[in-house]
């Protein structure tokens, strides 16, 4: 089993576990020292795992598609140029640009893939919003207000699980289909 298949299998399993849970999701509660009073319900664990593994599956399959296009479906001169120019760890925009140029996958699905990666990156990489501003006081002297918005679990994360899995399932199938596209098979014989 390739990792992409495994990741999608994990995402489906987490979504099934989420769907089987009884009761309302419980949002975490903290006391004034930010200690957990009540941990979040398992709904959040399964939803986040489903979304993250959905993105893992798409990323793996996207890199698989790119590797096959470069190594097996390109002629030697193009292959040398592609390999020389391609980063070992391409970013999302580079992968989606390659996908746009080397497949007929619709823009709508490419946009959903980007949104899935953006969502996954927001979960996986802490992004703190910092703000500082002056606020006028009744005394006339301004007070400097500083704040940091820490990333939080969000009830929307629960709905994102089904969306993430849907995007992953569509993208996975489209990427497999694009890899086997007949217009690229001829390149294998021209090597």
- pLDDT for position 32: 60
CB 25 within 8 A of CB 44: yes
Q: Which residue has the higher pLDDT, 27 or 66?
A: 66
pLDDT at 139 over 90: no
CA distance linking residue 40 with residue 25, whole number of Å: 8
Residues contacting residue 149 through CB under 8 Å, at least 6 positions apart = 128, 129, 130, 131
Domain boundaries, the chain: 3-189
pTM score over 0.75: yes
Mind listing the pLDDT tens digit for each residue in 64-111? 999 898 888 888 888 888 888 888 888 999 999 999 999 999 999 999
């Amino acid at each position: 089993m390739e990792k992409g298949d495994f990741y999608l299998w994990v995402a489906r399993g987490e979504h099934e576990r989420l769907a089987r849970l009884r009761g309302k999701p419980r949002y975490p509660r903290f006391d004034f020292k930010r200690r957990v009073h009540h941990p979040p319900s398992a709904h959040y664990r399964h939803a986040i795992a489903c979304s993250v593994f959905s993105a893992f599956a798409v990323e793996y399959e996207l890199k698989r598609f790119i590797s096959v296009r470069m190594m097996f479906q390109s002629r030697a001169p193009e292959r040398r140029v592609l390999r020389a120019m391609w980063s070992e760890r391409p970013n999302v925009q580079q992968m989606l640009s390659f996908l746009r140029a080397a497949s007929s996958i619709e823009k709508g699905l490419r946009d959903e893939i980007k949104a899935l990666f953006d969502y996954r990156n927001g979960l996986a990489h802490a992004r703190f919003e910092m703000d500082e501003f002056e606020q006028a006081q009744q005394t006339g002297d301004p007070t400097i207000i500083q704040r940091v918005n820490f990333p939080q679990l969000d009830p929307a994360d629960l709905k994102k699980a089904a969306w993430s899995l849907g995007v992953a399932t569509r993208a996975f199938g489209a990427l497999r289909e694009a890899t086997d596209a007949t217009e690229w098979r001829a390149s294998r014989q021209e090597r």
